[in-house]
Amino acid sequence: MSTPVETGEPQKRRLTQAGRRTRERIVETAAELMFHRGAGGTSIPDIQAAAGVSASQIYHYFGDKQGLILAVINHQTDSKIVQQGPLLDGLDSIEALREWCDAAGDRQDALGCVGGCEIGSLAGELADGDQATRMVLVAAFDRWEGPIRSGLARMQKRGELSKNADVAALATALMAAVQGGMLLSQVRRSSTAYRQAVSAVIDHIESYLVRY
């Protein structure tokens, strides 16, 4: 998996142990608030109150609100990859792809399909803003999509997936189905749209399997 891009956040390095804990608390608090309220609906005073820190501490660690937003994007990406790690590491079969997508659908059901995707929700709100934020979002989705590409490439290398299969395009199509399906599921409060979207793309990937 690729590493997160450099965000330019001040004071990210050379922190004391206490400083790292404070910074992590601020990011985790901001991530939770932004997931429920959006980045635009979350103010620095909101984060101060919820995290129990001062405005000067937030500006010390992140420079400004944009720096904090970039940290939140990386935090949500890291959390998503860690959460899905065991499944992401083994996406080299049709069964594994279905299991990964089913697990995400089950999680949406458990949440009542409220909130959508933590990364996708931020992307929908922030992608048309400044270039730096958009590029961090690009890197976030690339990191998440990478294990799909790697798994399909392993299938192709083993001769299980046709050489005619465009691994990169198929991985992007599945990620698009995940994101689009989650958005519709959020709106409709049902995971049906998500499950139908990802199933259709996996069926398409399955059509490239080499039959002996």
Is the domain of 96 the same as that of 14?
Answer: no
Q: Is the pTM of this model over 0.95?
A: no
Is the domain of 204 the same as that of 186?
Answer: yes
Query: Does residue 109 carry a pLDDT above 50?
Result: yes
Is the domain of 129 the same as that of 43?
Answer: no
**Of 61, 83, 105, which marks where a domain is finished?**
83
- Look at residues 29, 22, 121, 30 and name the one whose alpha carbon lies nearest to residue 69: 30
User: Domain range spanning residue 12?
Assistant: 8-83
Query: Does residue 155 carry a pLDDT above 70?
Result: yes
Residue 200 vs residues 98, 134, 175, 176: alpha-carbon distances, Å: 11, 29, 12, 12
The answer to the question of residue 2 being in a domain is no
pLDDT digits (tens, 9 = 90+) for 28-54: 999 999 999 999 999 999 999 999 999
pLDDT digits (tens, 9 = 90+) for 65-82: 999 999 999 999 999 999
pLDDT digits (tens, 9 = 90+) for 119-142: 999 999 999 988 999 999 999 999
- How many domains does the chain fold into? 2
Is the domain of 140 the same as that of 160?
Answer: yes
